[in-house]
């Protein structure tokens, strides 16, 4: 069977082909709803290079291994499936110049297992899945190229990222890499041979200052997951200490370097404001009260040594990041798909949300703008009430969303953590981010959910 797709890119053929050649393109081209684990990604598209990943297929994990061939930059490259769910799969990528940019053409010849029977049973659904996948690739490629072009006139940066394996970190590393930046990971495990990785041990207050000398930008996204487990006293201490101690270690270390970085960007959260009811919250609003505001406040203050040393320091107070493969949205999907994703309590609490692409692009925007410094609310300018969020998710999934969930039920399932994260009302407005010139991909919740889930009209 043959599938063809064309993408028109507002960029020249050389820049477009170069985007595909970057290692991060593999992650950025993966549809945002696909739970995929990268196994191998050779840093080239040349003949013989291998790309491999694992993904769930029902109750098992399937491995897809593709081998590259036909390398002819900037005109073409190919890949052939050596192991995977299809009987055969051969994908030809061709690039051609236009007057104003470039056309990327994808041509896929594939066969399903079991011949005629396979086509009869799964042919239609497989073709739809392929169509959705390539439409998602088109959207991501066009957006990424545009965002990179906004700062193409500036020098590329040498960037070190802590927390690179997390939900946001994986996408941020990949995006920055496709923009030609020299991206390194700061990891707690032993670095992999041949990878751009440096080791630290924040729990033991250990980092080698010589390793982090000479970076332009340092980004810290690390910390124990706030919504991963019930909040026992031990867990609450871990959430706080994993953020505060690691941030202070990093900030103190870079403040003493001979060659200091231009900027330190530290993740924070809308939890800084706490439960505030109907109040509209800008970066000038007062801090809230309770556990999460206390954690976020200590987290931000831990970066003070870097600020005192004259390093441009940014705190990204992030809302609910919409990603189908993890975080809050992933937890909402199962109940929503079975029609049990209605309002929590009365559903009047405000949810401040942001699409994954806007999360990544806004951090890039803050990184590349030298005048940006201090705290920034990183969320859509159009927060919604939880009841509206549930209704919109149901609409996108074509499922009912009217059965309410009492807060007591949330407490039984998830404890104090669940109640805090689902019933508290925080209506943050990205005032400073908008004033800095950032343009959102998704101001409206419906478009963000449709992109995240591949449910376009």
Same domain as 66, residue 215: no
Give the closest residue to 382 by CA, choosing from 288, 328, 447, 456. Answer: 447
Separation between Cα atoms, residue 20 and residue 177, nearest integer Å = 11
Q: Is 455 helix (H, G, I), strand (E, B) or coil?
A: coil
Instruction: Give the pLDDT of residue 70.
Output: 97
Residues 129 and 233 in one domain: no
Exposure of 121 in the CB half-sphere (CA atoms within 13 A):
7
- Is the pLDDT reported for residue 407 higher than 80? no
Q: What is the CATH number of the domain that holds 61?
A: 3.30.530.20
The whole-number pLDDT of residue 115 equals 85
Question: How much is the pTM?
Answer: 0.94
- 210-261, pLDDT tens digit by residue? 999 999 999 999 888 887 777 888 988 999 999 999 999 999 999 999 999 9
pLDDT per residue over 38-50, tens digit each? 888 888 999 999 9
Closest residue by Cα to residue 174 from 72, 268, 38: 38
Give dist(CA 224, CA 246) in Å, integer.
11
Does residue 416 register a pLDDT over 80?
A: no
Q: Is the pLDDT of residue 342 over 90?
A: no
Q: Domain of 357: which CATH number?
A: 3.40.50.720
Among 54-58, 431-435, 449-453, whose mean pLDDT is lowest?
A: 54-58
Least confident of 27-41, 208-222, 270-284: 27-41
For residues 136 and 180, state if they share a domain.
no
Does residue 162 contact residue 206 with C-beta atoms inside 8 Å?
no
Note whether 218 and 86 are same-domain residues.
Answer: no
Same domain, 259 and 388: yes
Q: How confident is the model at residue 408 (pLDDT cuts 50, 70, 90)?
A: low
**β-strand partners of 383:** none
Question: Which DSSP string do the residues of 32-75 spell out, in sequence order?
Answer: TT---EEEEE-S--STT-EEEEEEEETTEEEEEEEEEEEEETTT
Residue 412 has pLDDT above 60, yes or no: no
The predicted pLDDT at position 422 comes to 75
Are residues 100 and 180 both part of a single domain? no
Q: How many domains does the chain have?
A: 2
Mean pLDDT score, 418-438? 89
Using CA atoms, how far residue 188 sits from 182, 212, 244, in Å, is 20, 14, 16
Per-residue pLDDT of 52-93, as tens digits, reads: 999 887 778 889 999 999 999 999 999 999 999 999 999 999
Cα separation of 400 and 391, whole Å?
Answer: 8
Domain containing 186 equals 158-453
Same domain for 168 and 144 = no
Same domain, 177 and 294: yes
pLDDT at 372 over 80: yes
Pull the structure tokens for residue 238.
Answer: 């871990």
* pLDDT value at residue 338: 85
Domain shared by 261 and 382, yes or no? yes
Q: How far apart are the first and last CA of the chain?
A: 25
Read off the pLDDT band of 360 (50, 70, 90).
very high
Mean confidence (pLDDT) of the chain: 93
pLDDT of 136 over the 70 cut: yes
What is the mean predicted confidence (pLDDT) over 351-362? 97
Q: Which is higher by pLDDT, 416 or 87?
A: 87
265 and 354, same domain (yes or no): yes
Give me the pLDDT at residue 413, please: 56
- Please report the pLDDT score of residue 19 as a whole number: 96
Q: Do 329 and 306 sit in the same domain of this protein?
A: yes
Same domain, 206 and 344: yes
pLDDT for 272: 96
pLDDT at 385: 96
Q: Which of residues 97, 116, 149 is at a domain's end? A: 149
Over residues 152-167, mean pLDDT? 96
């Amino acid at each position: 069977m043959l599938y063809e797709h064309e993408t028109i890119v507002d960029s020249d053929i050389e820049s477009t082909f170069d985007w595909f050649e970057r290692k991060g393109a593999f992650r950025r081209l993966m549809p945002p709803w696909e739970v995929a684990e990268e196994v191998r990604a050779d840093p080239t598209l040349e003949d013989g290079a291998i790309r491999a990943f694992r993904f769930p297929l029902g109750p098992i994990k399937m491995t897809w291994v593709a081998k590259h061939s036909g390398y002819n930059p900037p005109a073409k490259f190919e890949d052939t499936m050596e192991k995977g769910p299809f009987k055969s799969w051969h994908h030809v990528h061709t690039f051609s110049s236009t007057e104003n940019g470039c056309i990327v053409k994808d041509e896929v010849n594939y066969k399903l297992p079991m011949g005629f029977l396979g086509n009869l049973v799964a042919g239609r659904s497989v073709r739809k899945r392929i169509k959705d996948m390539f439409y998602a690739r088109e959207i991501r490629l066009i957006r990424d190229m545009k965002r990179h072009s906004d700062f193409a006139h500036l020098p590329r940066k040498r960037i070190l990222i802590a927390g690179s394996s997390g939900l946001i970190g994986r996408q941020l590393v990949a995006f920055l890499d496709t923009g030609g930046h020299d991206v390194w990971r700061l990891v707690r495990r032993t670095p992999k041979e041949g990878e751009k990785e440096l080791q630290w041990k924040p729990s033991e207050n250990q980092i080698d200052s010589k390793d982090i000398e000479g970076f332009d930008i340092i980004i810290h996204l690390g910390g124990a997951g706030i919504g991963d487990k019930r909040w026992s006293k031990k867990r609450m201490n871990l959430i706080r200490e994993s953020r505060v101690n690691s941030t202070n270690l990093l900030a103190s270390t870079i403040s003493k370097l001979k060659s200091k970085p231009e900027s330190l960007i530290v993740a924070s959260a809308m939890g800084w404001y706490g439960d505030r009811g109907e109040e509209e919250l800008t970066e000038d609003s007062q801090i809230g009260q309770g556990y999460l505001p206390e954690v976020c406040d200590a987290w931000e203050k831990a970066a003070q040594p870097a600020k005192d040393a004259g390093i441009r320091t940014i705190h990204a107070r992030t809302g609910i990041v919409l990603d189908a493969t993890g975080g809050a949205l992933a937890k909402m999907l199962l109940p929503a798909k079975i029609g049990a994703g209605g309002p929590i309590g009365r559903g009047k609490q405000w949810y401040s949300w942001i699409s994954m692409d806007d999360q990544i692009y806004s951090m890039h925007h803050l990184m590349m703008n030298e005048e940006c410094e201090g705290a920034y609310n990183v969320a859509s300018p159009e927060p919604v009430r939880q009841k509206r969020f549930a209704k919109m998710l149901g609409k996108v999934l074509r499922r009912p969303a009217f059965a309410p969930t009492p807060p007591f039920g949330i407490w039984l399932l998830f404890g104090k953590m669940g109640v805090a994260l689902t019933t508290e009302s925080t209506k943050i407005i990205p005032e400073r981010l908008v004033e800095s010139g950032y343009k959102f991909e998704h101001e409206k919740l419906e478009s963000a959910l449709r992109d995240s889930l591949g449910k376009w009209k």
